[in-house]
A and B are shown apart, each in its own frame.
Chain A
């Protein structure tokens, strides 16, 4: 059975942690959390993952299941996430309400910060995450509302100021910041998506879109089995990224 768009996205998220070794794979969003756990179950077995709460688990857990005591290998309350930000050994995949071609992200507010048109979450840990450790992004709806020429409030810092912006996975494509002057670059488009569609839904110029653009790899049979039978039998991934 062919992989759904959501399953391609999960695997593209998982690839963000390839080669990271024994670090915490911190993730926000369904496909991103699934990606972290799938990476651990396949090509990156030393990753640390949580139960979605304060517990590090002995094995990657199915989505939404709390860890039983015998499934727990460590304790990671919020304060230790903040410690990890400065210490390292953590690669976070965050969401963003806005992301610009320099890699700056905004989760704080839309419009003038002093009196916003739309108050969002606040900067959360984005300034520290991006400045101090490797950061990727997961954007479930690739659109011009998200991919803007310039963010309204810099919550996550630019690729030039960051410790290392690794990749941006969206429902359409994979980007990185390997363009001129560390600007956004198209790395691959998902199967069934065209470069034209990605450009139409991106509010700035995208490097790497001119020539031959690779297609994001398909999940392997084993990856699909783990996703469908073990990690997400309820299909929450398809609710985040409809077929």
Chain B
């Protein structure tokens, strides 16, 4: 019944071309230790689905990403993610850019095994132009407003998802203790298999039951990674390491800083897919 594993074993279980969901939000409670393990692994051509932060930037910088599916990519206290920016501006990665509400409905649809969910969000914007695969649908019911088109948001089905939580047990149950669950349990439910990292493995949980965010029923493996979200925040265990994030952002233009985040060597910090 034990699902305890390591970041490198989780990364090794991924295969080329997978659709990989990553929990958290911007530079908040990102499974950075798992992301670093993916960066070290040989996997490539990933489609990364994320409310993007430095997870997306690091994977882009290591040439792991073919496509990003995201409503935004940001470091929060630093608005723009430098490595994602470089990857987009060099044409190294493709982008599917959906409105935040559309993005959540995509995960909801996948979690519920639905073919789509309707929403007005996206209508009139260039989201529909940028993703020519999107279709609209009309309600079969009479509507006071005449029943205009709605965007039929397709499911964001994930081959695997990576999520970081405050506490987890060896069976793969995950607990968050901060102020916001983000969309983490939706990532877990939308994925064929979800991997958790946690600040601490516990034998039993304390705190109210509504903090038990992720069920072992959808979790394939759990790794204990104290500080595993750094430099992103993982409240209440720790806030964002703003100084480390500043060095990370500056490293995009400073090769001397780059080794701290990307290791030594000529391959460090490359922004073009090989």
Q: Report A-chain residues with C-beta under 8 Å of the C-beta of B89.
A: 115-119
Q: Are B121 and A86 within 8 A (Cβ)?
A: yes
Residue of A nearest to B183 (CB): A79
Say which residue of A109, A119, A128, A156 sits within 8 Å of B102 (CB atoms). Answer: A128
Q: Are B125 and A157 within 8 A (Cβ)?
A: yes
A86 to B126, CA, bound (A): 19
Q: Given the interface contacts A77-B182, A120-B80, A161-B124, does A113 sit within 8 Å of B101 by beta carbon?
A: no
Residues of B bordering A, CB below 8 Å: 25, 52, 70-74, 79-80, 84-85, 88-89, 91, 97-102, 104, 119-127, 129-130, 179-183
Known contacts A77-B180, A153-B130; 10 additional CB pairs below 8 A are A77-B179, A77-B181, A86-B119, A116-B88, A123-B98, A123-B126, A127-B121, A128-B122, A130-B124, A156-B125
Residues of A bordering B, CB below 8 Å: 53-55, 75, 77-79, 82, 85-86, 108-109, 113, 115-128, 130-132, 153-158, 161-162
Chain A interface, DSSP helix/strand/loop, else mixed: loop
Q: Given the interface contacts A85-B101, A115-B91, does A128 sit within 8 Å of B119 by beta carbon?
A: yes
Say which residue of A85, A108, A121, A161 sits within 8 Å of B74 (CB atoms). Answer: A121
Say which residue of A77, A115, A130 sits within 8 Å of B88 (CB atoms). Answer: A115
Q: Report B-chain residues with C-beta under 8 Å of the C-beta of A109.
A: 88
Q: Report A-chain residues with C-beta under 8 Å of the C-beta of B125.
A: 123, 126-127, 130-131, 154-157
A154 to B130, CA, bound (A): 10
Q: Are A82 and B84 within 8 A (Cβ)?
A: no
Least CB distance from A209 to B in Å reads 27
Q: Given the interface contacts A123-B98, A125-B100, A131-B120, does A53 sit within 8 Å of B126 by beta carbon?
A: no
Residue of A nearest to B127 (CB): A127
Residue of B nearest to A75 (CB): B179
Residue of B nearest to A107 (CB): B72
Q: Given the interface contacts A116-B88, A157-B125, does A128 sit within 8 Å of B180 by beta carbon?
A: no
Q: Report B-chain residues with C-beta under 8 Å of the C-beta of A118.
A: 85, 89
Q: Are B126 and A153 within 8 A (Cβ)?
A: yes
Q: Are B120 and A82 within 8 A (Cβ)?
A: no
Least CB distance from B191 to A in Å reads 18
Q: Report B-chain residues with C-beta under 8 Å of the C-beta of A78.
A: 25, 100, 180, 182-183
Q: Report A-chain residues with C-beta under 8 Å of the C-beta of B182.
A: 77-79
